[in-house]
Amino acid sequence: MSDAAVVDDRYRWVALANTTAAVFMSALDGSIVLIALPPIFRGIHLDPLAPGSIGYLLWMIMGYRLVQAVLVVSVGRLGDMYGRVKIYNAGFVVFTLASILLSFDPFTRGGGATWLIAWRVLQAVGGSMLMANSAAILTDAFPASRRGFALGINQVAALAGQFVGLVAGGLLASLDWRAVFWINVPIGLFGTVWAYRTLRETGDRKPGRIDVAGNVLFALGLGALLLGVTEGVQPYHGHAMGWTNPAVLVELVGGMLALVAFVVVERRTPDPMFDLRLFAIRSFSAGNAAGLAVSLVRGGLQFILVIWLQGIWLPLHGYHFSQTPLWSGVFLLPMTLGMLLAGPVSGYLSDRFGSRRLATSGLAVFGASLVGLLLLPVDFSYTPFALLIVANGVGGGMFAAPNTSSIMGAVPANQRGEASGMRATFLNSGTALSIGVFFSIMIAGLARHLPRALVSGLTRHGVAPAAAAHVAALPPVASLFATLLGVNPVAHLLGAAHAGVSELVTSPAFFARLLVAPFGDGLSPVLWVAIGLTALAALASALREPDGR
């Protein structure tokens, strides 16, 4: 083997290690706050049931994903024009700077929440630069015969980061809520120096002009659509959700019209931000369609599983609400294990046998696990639940690496940054949309039965009818978010009114028991929708080119 070949091979592994660390860190940060929210709210002295707190909570969760969804195509296109490594390295700097600013929040209550949301947005900008260009850098560095394995490790790191973040958030926040953001600083500083010293441009560039009109229309359209979904799950004028809010309707309709205008503009501009001709490549269009459907399932499913564990299962099994954020992450670890086992293996196998059959088989396993979850009772035995989420992780890992390899291997070399950004846009948009879609279905089920169950259960145990009605008037979304924030909404709202009432009423298990039947009413349609989307993803995956490339 020549010296040049040795250097090239060494560079490939350096590129794989650095980009894997970057996408893991970026994905982890998308979920780490989800579990750390209880100590964050306590740390900035924000009452989780106060008016406006739902909005702060949603933007802490959704703001990061929304910005990534909007920006990844643009920064991927910039990578094609000016150098993927250059944009990627700048992303490390931005991400690290935002992490430092997040950890020094000087305010409390609404001001403290606004500070965190603002710098999470900047952090998402850096994360977008990393994620949009990492797959393109790897595709440039690895030959086609080894690309699936490299992208498999990279993609599994991204998936695993989402679930490891759940545990890391609980562990770090138990020390200090600021540690959730401190953890990124040494990693970001090391990754930045390492990337600048070792990564180099190895791919083709595609000179051109920045598509200002396309970027503006895309950002406005997708941003308004995701903003409408985010606000649509919040209560509005006595309604459980805000879908009748005129502002939400304007955002949804306006967002869709802007995206239609974006498509018209992109078909006519000589240097489009989003080259629609790529969709004529069957493996590219089929792979992205499958990826969008799976991300719609995965994002909402992660959120629903966390609420299922934190709000119901763990309190029923003796855990206090203050303990449930950490333990829900621990009990979801089998899903991460499944992904870690299946991802690299499926990437390696896709290099030898192609992507289509492997990715489609992974979706079959993924869908079967959802059917199993549908058959579980709300108060389940943990062993079958653990086996099902392992299968879900295995199926997701089997799909992710071959699908990414198929998409990236199908496009021209000088458009890999753009293609990587487009792929990431579908994934991030699906994840952000899924939380709104799945949560709306869940809230619709809860709103029908939860208030009546609360009034009946509380009055039966000695709570005055007026106090019981006060608790039952809490919007269902606030009840669920309270449990997500480690707060028992019954004890919190009753306050002094529960003096002389049985301690059973203010115990975590009491509220969880009242939630079982209403939650089941919402969970069943959520899982049916997830199963249907997975079936559509499998169909799209099967329609790609026979060899998957």
Task: Pick 540 or 411 by higher pLDDT.
Answer: 540
DSSP letters along 135-147, please?
A: HHHHHHHS-HHHH
- Determine the average pLDDT of the residues in 410-416: 81
Tokens of 113: 């929440």
| Bridge partners, 236 (sequence order) | 239
Task: Pick 62 or 118 by higher pLDDT.
Answer: 118
* 343 Cβ contact list (under 8 Å, min separation 6): 152, 153, 155, 156, 159, 160, 397, 398, 400, 401
107-116, 238-247, 264-273: range with highest mean pLDDT:
107-116
Instruction: Residue count of the chain, please give it.
Output: 549
Q: Which three-class secondary structure state does DSSP give residue 236?
A: strand
**Predicted pLDDT of residue 7:** 40
pLDDT at residue 293 tops 80: yes
Query: How deeply is 361 buried, as exposed, middle or buried, from its count of CB atoms within 10 A (0-12, 13-18, 19+)?
Result: middle
| pLDDT band at residue 369 using 50, 70 and 90 as cut-offs | very high
Query: How deeply is 301 buried, as exposed, middle or buried, from its count of CB atoms within 10 A (0-12, 13-18, 19+)?
Result: buried
- Determine the average pLDDT of the residues in 313-332: 85
Buried b (16+ CB within 10 A) or exposed e, 494-521: beeebeebeeebbbbbbbbbbbbebbeb
| pLDDT band at residue 122 using 50, 70 and 90 as cut-offs | very high
Share of the chain above pLDDT 90, in %: 23
Share of the chain above pLDDT 70, in %: 95
pLDDT at residue 208 tops 60: yes
CB 245 within 8 A of CB 276: no
CB 95 within 8 A of CB 188: yes
Location of structure tokens 């979920």: 31
Task: Pick 378 or 163 by higher pLDDT.
Answer: 378
Tokens of 331: 């009990």
Q: Which three-class secondary structure state does DSSP give residue 270?
A: coil
Q: pLDDT tens across 59-88, in order? A: 887 788 778 877 887 888 888 888 889 999
Q: Which three-class secondary structure state does DSSP give residue 116?
A: helix
| pLDDT band at residue 502 using 50, 70 and 90 as cut-offs | low
| Bridge partners, 239 (sequence order) | 236
**Predicted pLDDT of residue 549:** 42
Instruction: Please state, in angstroms and rounded to a whole number, the distance separating the CA atoms of residues 243 and 85.
Output: 42
Helix (H) or strand (E) segment spanning residue 63: helix 53-82
Write down the pTM of the prediction.
0.81
**Predicted pLDDT of residue 535:** 97
pLDDT mean across residues, the chain: 83
**Predicted pLDDT of residue 496:** 47
**Predicted pLDDT of residue 84:** 87
Helix (H) or strand (E) segment spanning residue 34: helix 3-43
Q: pLDDT tens across 139-175, in order? A: 888 887 777 778 777 877 877 777 777 777 777 777 7
Output the CA torsion sign for 385, 361, 541, 138.
Answer: positive
- Superfamily of structural domain 3-210+273-445+522-542: MFS general substrate transporter like domains (1.20.1250.20)
- Determine the average pLDDT of the residues in 433-450: 83
CB 300 within 8 A of CB 437: yes
CB 195 within 8 A of CB 116: no
- In the chain, domain spans: 3-210+273-445+522-542, 446-521
Tokens of 311: 């709000």
| pLDDT band at residue 548 using 50, 70 and 90 as cut-offs | very low
pLDDT at residue 378 tops 90: yes
Task: Pick 381 or 325 by higher pLDDT.
Answer: 381
pLDDT at residue 56 tops 70: yes
pLDDT at residue 383 tops 90: yes
pLDDT at residue 370 tops 90: yes
| pLDDT band at residue 249 using 50, 70 and 90 as cut-offs | very high
Q: pLDDT tens across 19-52, in order? A: 988 888 877 876 777 777 778 888 888 877 776 7
196-200, 370-374, 436-440: range with highest mean pLDDT:
370-374
pLDDT at residue 533 tops 90: yes
**Predicted pLDDT of residue 538:** 95
Q: pLDDT tens across 469-496, in order? A: 877 887 887 777 777 777 777 777 776 4
Instruction: Please state, in angstroms and rounded to a whole number, the distance separating the CA atoms of residues 484 and 490.
Output: 14
Output the CA torsion sign for 338, 341, 342, 347.
Answer: positive
pLDDT at residue 376 tops 90: yes
Q: Which long-range contacts (CB under 8 A, 24 or more apart) does 37-40 make?
A: 37/61, 37/325, 37/484, 37/485, 38/173, 38/322, 38/325, 38/485, 38/486, 38/487, 39/173, 39/174, 39/176, 39/177, 40/116, 40/173, 40/177, 40/180
Instruction: Write the single-letter amino acid at 274.
Output: F
Rg over CA atoms, the chain: 23
**Predicted pLDDT of residue 274:** 76
